[in-house]
Structure 1
């Protein structure tokens, strides 16, 4: 039978305050016996301290993998119930105490996976404008009529703009915010000016709703608008209008970009990285809505997509700036 020492109130306090599940055990000739479990361990394994103390370790953790880890010491990652657990154990000889520490790192691994995916997608997207710029520069090495050379220069500038947008996308989440109070009309005017070259070939019109004061980083707000309106251009048929609606909701302002694209399906997944709708035209990274969500969540807002009548609406909220000085 394993002999356990009663925990002290001080041990109870600091062990129970830890977010990791901690199980203290003792090495005995007949195996490993539990000495103490903290509050997080009780939640993880569902065995309270009064029932865990003195029992064989395997009866509490119910996994031979964890029992073997406790016997040899070391670290491993374990998938259990859809969660990723980092498990660390210190080895205990006969009469000695050891510890098994289990930390839920599911969210951390998910963020790592999203970052790897986003970086891979953006790295792939950089190849197209770089290749275009190389072709333009190679062409400009040769003598040609001024009007033809000017055409190549315009192509090069367009590719530079694409590169600049990709750099902005890559910086999402890492660039410090520069929030200020500004009228939405200011961001709308910038977006319209930058998107005119894309609207004209598709014979699309762009209209904006009522102006409101908002609190945001102007550059990040512009990036959200550009991604949503470009998304509408990809999904909507040529020649159809795109409308940006605004609505004051308490202390928040809702902005919705509406297009005449086919009805949406699976809207919950549209804002994940590397996801494109089934009706998207042309080439794309599938990063636009993921970037929108990342920026909007940064200022505490929400993003969603829904069907409004015969149009799709891609919506976000941002803090209102009423009462703040410009």
Structure 2
């Protein structure tokens, strides 16, 4: 049996390996000192950067000496593919064997960016599905109402509401291309958003036999649709998680050049409140099914205009608060 080591590839013959972004390590089996297992014959430039062993030192050494991981040694031995988490990076490692199994290659690709983009895509999908829910629910209510005979002026009012929700859907579709931060900020009175929110929430308020009150009006600077989304999320949470039939109050107060808005409910005291604003997180006593994205969306939108979002206990009530830039002047 020929036990001589496989000839080392000449630098000229495989110079193209150094142009690859993946780390490539070529090896042969049974060609090194006794017990060496697999011997490295060539590493490309990316492999030198990954393992910190230059070509002249890597050639002739055992594979384990260069990669310093038994997991990779075992992969090179059997062939196949696996992913490793190393120093905060995700590496896809592939091993192949050729030449009757004596020669092989270990290829390592950094896919950290790819995995991060996958996570961002999943998050974006969750955010969009959550944001589309409100206008779709509003449209369903309008269409159900229009099935019944009603005075023309009332029917026209429902049609206007439906058109407003269609416009919101169109703007959400536009956001697919530009991200989720507010891009259409203008100065508006809070009362304008309060009126939109109350109109959309009327069916749920009636079903839950709950009342909703709003504090003093203030001029603010925000994207009207994003502000409405924040307010709807917080009020819907208060209605959903607070005791049935209890009032929900929206308080407002100036804070220098900012305006604070707080949604108060009569729910039980909350623990670990900061974690509630993380993605896919729900309170320990949250009933039913939910995506756990509502408060995450709230904080993301509020941070987008430079504000803060938090929750605290005020007397016997939970307060979910956020700040937003004030407009010209405060009280109206």
- Quickly name the TM-score band, shorter chain normalised: 0.5 to 0.7
Q: Which string of whole-angstrom CA distances, capped at 9 and with x for unpartnered residues, describes residues 170-205 of structure 1?
A: 899358721111122221121112212211222212
Kindly name which structure, 1 or 2, has the bigger radius of gyration based on alpha carbons: 2
Shift of 1:307: 2.2
Give the Å deviation of 1:299.
1.9
Task: Identify the range of structure 1 (127-136 vs 276-285) with the bigger mean alpha-carbon deviation.
Answer: 127-136
Work out whether residues 85 and 103 of structure 1, in 8 Å CA contact, stay in contact via their aligned partners in 2. yes
Aligned length: 324
C-alpha change, 1:232 and 1:165, in structure 2 (3 Å) is farther
Query: What stretches of structure 1 of length at least 5 have no aligned partner?
Result: none
Query: Match of 2:183, SS?
Result: coil
Q: Normalising by the residue count of structure 1, what TM-score does the alignment of the two structures yield?
A: 0.57
Using the TM superposition, give the Cα deviation of residue 257 of structure 1 relative to its aligned residue in structure 2, in angstroms: 1.1
CA distance in 2: counterparts of 1:23 and 1:325, whole angstroms: 70
Cα–Cα, structure 1 residues 260 and 19, in superposed 2: closer, same or farther, change >3 Å?
A: farther
| Bigger mean CA deviation after superposition, 238-247 or 97-106 | 97-106
- Asked if the contact 2:191/2:217 (under 8 Å) is kept, the reply is yes
Task: Classify 1:210/1:161 alpha carbon distance in 2 versus 1 (closer, same or farther; 3 Å).
Answer: same
**Structure 2 stretches lacking a partner, 5+ long:** none
Distance 1:199 1:134, change over 3 A: closer
Instruction: Using the TM superposition, name which of 226-235 and 256-265 deviates more.
Output: 256-265
- Match of 2:155, SS? helix
Q: 1:141-171: per-residue Cα shift (whole Å, max 9, x none)?
A: 9999999999999999999999999989989
> 181-190 vs 48-57, which deviates more?
48-57
Q: 1:41 and 1:323 mapped to 2: Cα distance? A: 62
Kindly state the Cα deviation for residue 233 of structure 1 after the two structures are TM-superposed: 0.4
1:4 aligns with 2:5: yes
**Aligned residues of 1:181 and 1:325 also touching (Cα < 8 A):** no
Larger CA deviation: 154-163 vs 32-41: 32-41
- Residue 276 of structure 1 aligns to a residue whose secondary structure is coil
Cross-structure match for 1:76: 82
Aligned to 2:316: 310
Task: Show the counterpart of 1:17.
Answer: 19
How big is the shift at 1:222?
Answer: 0.5
Task: Summarize the Cα distance change of 1:189–1:17 in structure 2 as closer, same or farther, 3 Å threshold.
Answer: farther
1:31 aligns with 2:35: yes
* Pair 1:267–1:149, CA change in 2 (3 A): same
Q: CA deviation at 1:68?
A: 11
Q: Which moved more, 1:97-106 or 1:55-64?
A: 97-106
Using a 3 Å threshold, how does the CA distance of structure 1 residues 148 and 169 change in structure 2: closer, same or farther?
A: same
Quote the RMSD (CA, aligned, Å): 7.4
Contact 1:118 1:273 in 2 (8 A): no
| TM-fit CA distance, 1:214 | 1.6
Equivalent pair of 2:23/2:109 in contact (CA under 8 Å): yes
Is the 1:203–1:238 Cα contact (8 Å) retained in structure 2? yes
* Kept after mapping to 2: 8 A contact 1:4/1:53: no
Counterparts in 2 of 1:187 and 1:140: CA distance versus 1, 3 Å: closer
**8 Å Cα contact 1:169-1:291 kept in structure 2:** no
Query: Residues 93-151 of structure 1, C-alpha deviation per residue, up to 9 Å, x if partnerless?
Result: 99999999999976874563354266369769999999999999999999999999999
Residues 301-320 of structure 1, C-alpha deviation per residue, up to 9 Å, x if partnerless? 23222222221122222222
Greater CA drift, 312-321 or 236-245: 312-321
- Work out the CA distance in 2 between the residues paired with 1:213 and 1:152: 28
State the alpha-carbon separation in 1 of the partners of residues 254 and 194 from structure 2.
Answer: 16
CA–CA distance in structure 1, aligned partners of residues 194 and 130 of structure 2: 30
- Give the 3 Å change call, closer, same or farther, for CA 276–265 of structure 1 in structure 2: same
Quickly say closer, same or farther: Cα 1:120–1:221, change in 2 above 3 A.
closer
Query: TM-score, normalised to structure 2's length?
Result: 0.56
